Amino acid sequence: MPEADFVIVGAGSAGCALAYRLSEDGKNSVIVIEYGGTDIGPFIQMPSALSFPMNMSLYDWGLSTEPEPHLGGRVLATPRGKVIGGSSSINGMVYVRGHARDFDHWAEEGAAGWAYANVLPYFKRMEHAHGGEEGWRGTDGPLHVRRGTRRNPLYQTFIEAGREAGFEVTDDYNGARQEGFGPMEQTIHQGRRWSAANAYLRPALKRPNVRLVNGLARRVVIENGRAVGVEIGARGPDQVVRARREVILAASSINSPKLLMLSGIGPAAHLRDRGIEVIADRPGVGRNLQDHLELYIQQESLQPVTLYSVLNPFSKARIGLQWLLFKSGLGATNHFEAAAFVRSRAGVDYPDIQYHFLPAAIRYDGKAAAKMHGFQAHVGPMRSKSRGAVTLRSPDPAAKAEIRFNYMSHPDDWSDFRHCIRLTRSIFGQKAFDPYRGRELSPGAHVQSDDQLDAFIREHVESAYHPCGTCRMGRVDDPASVVDPECRVIGVDGLRVADSSIFPRITNGNLNAPSIMTGEKAADHVLGRTPLPPSNLEPWINPRWQVSDR
């Protein structure tokens, strides 16, 4: 029977970081259980091929929501990585730490020791930033972070338009000042996707005390109130991977709560309904599900400077060949090279809207490209009040969980999105875009009234693929908490959860960076180490926040 000091379920963003740090001093043995296979090949490693892996059953779990009642019953895709590196191997490679106030809010909600001052040293420990604000960034960590070349003139045009509209400009949204328009950061290194597998898992697997075991985790084995291993199956006979010290779930915000429930940890009535013996009644397991939604606001370009020029088979082949031979050119970027974080109105103290800018009119999944030159902004609110849940469809571990985000269930979500659309139109209407601006492709200039905008939102809003919150971290005496501030599952010994499921509330921007940070910080808790000393750096808050949105 395979056995180790620590057994980690999931070789994703947090799990890879955990494997690297728990094995670093050579004193502890680590087994990582992962159902997915290798990430070798151009579909994952070539940054511009990002639309492929999340649509391939080889690399993606193929999850989707139940019909969403506030979106006309639409079923939305919920991609999660089924491959080493997890979702960091199929994501858009955008690197955003989150805003300082996000983590301060975590601490206020009961996640003591996870305020910004506490987590900033872990962000710095994990980073090897190529550029960025001195003193705020790490320069010798495993995770390489860079800016794109921004050779396309539309990137700077977008930033200049934000400045003309009166908004801040920031050179490093991962530094002191998140608020503003500026360059976007990428987890790309030497032309390749720099996933958690490349940054953390491969170096860890070179150590004699780390082992990767392939299999589907079916449940956590609990004896006398203590986790002692993980039952795995799917490829060969079921077996138990034993943990001498602890089991750590890092299986995603969908699969971590699912595994807890399959193991008898969760809302007691729901578990009994599914025929599962209750080990620990934790009503918060699977609850508090959150995500970011976004819209694509698309504009025709009057100048032939967009990526439409290279969407033909010949150009794609040439780009692919250049990448294969030299790891350079348009194949070596995710094309998200300009961004913005802004506030929606006066009285909001830190950004609550995010922009990704793209010099093409094309969907995230690569489908439905406009048949002309165009550009687009992905825009969405950061702090939706809507909450959903992950529940068990059946006690069969092979059955997919039921996922209900309850998207757009709060009335503020609708007014927030209408504001996002109108604000984007204002930015695209600035003087900087005059040489390029053609007609509005989406939603279209005819869509103006609140009712028309709501109909567009209902039909076209998409997930930004940032699910989190389903094993919420908080105070031990809070019944909604699943794990304590050291990531220990409340009510069971020897078991922790460390991934985006523990976030009390979703952070600003993309979730890969805070997920990796969670693995980094959790490793110190697991090892019983004193956390890194808190930072005394003070983040910038707009002095006009009470009177203006810019």
Q: What is the CATH number of domain 1-69+77-145+186-265+478-532?
A: 3.50.50.60
φ and ψ of 59, to 5 deg: -115, -10
Domain boundaries, the chain: 1-69+77-145+186-265+478-532
- The radius of gyration of the chain from alpha carbons, rounded to an integer in Å, stands at 23
pLDDT at 458: 98
Exposure class string for 209-226: b at 16+ Cβ within 10 A, else e = bbbbbbbbbbbbbbeeee
The reported pTM is 0.98
CA–CA separation, 445 vs 531, rounded Å?
53
pLDDT at 371: 87
pLDDT at 425: 98
Please check whether residue 33 is in contact with residue 230, taking contact to mean a CB–CB distance below 8 angstroms. Answer: yes
Query: Is 20 known to sit in a ligand binding site?
Result: yes
Quick: pLDDT tens for 485-532.
999 999 999 999 999 999 999 999 999 999 999 999 999 999 999 999
Residues of the chain with pLDDT under 70: 234-236, 364-369
Query: Is 27 known to sit in a ligand binding site?
Result: yes
Query: Is 122 known to sit in a ligand binding site?
Result: no
The secondary structure of 461-494 as a DSSP string is -EE-S--B-TT-B--TT-TT-SB-TT-BBTT-BT
Amino acid at 299: Q
Distance of CA 550 to the CA centre of its chain: 27
Query: Is 458 known to sit in a ligand binding site?
Result: no
Q: Which residues are catalytic?
A: 466
Query: Is 26 known to sit in a ligand binding site?
Result: yes
Return the structure tokens found at 305: 């400077």
pLDDT at 363: 76
Name residue 493's beta-bridge partners. Answer: 226
Please check whether residue 352 is in contact with residue 362, taking contact to mean a CB–CB distance below 8 angstroms. Answer: no
pLDDT at 237: 81
Query: Is 326 known to sit in a ligand binding site?
Result: no
Return the structure tokens found at 366: 């690569």
CA–CA separation, 401 vs 13, rounded Å?
21
pLDDT at 366: 64
Query: Is 93 known to sit in a ligand binding site?
Result: yes
CA–CA separation, 283 vs 381, rounded Å?
28
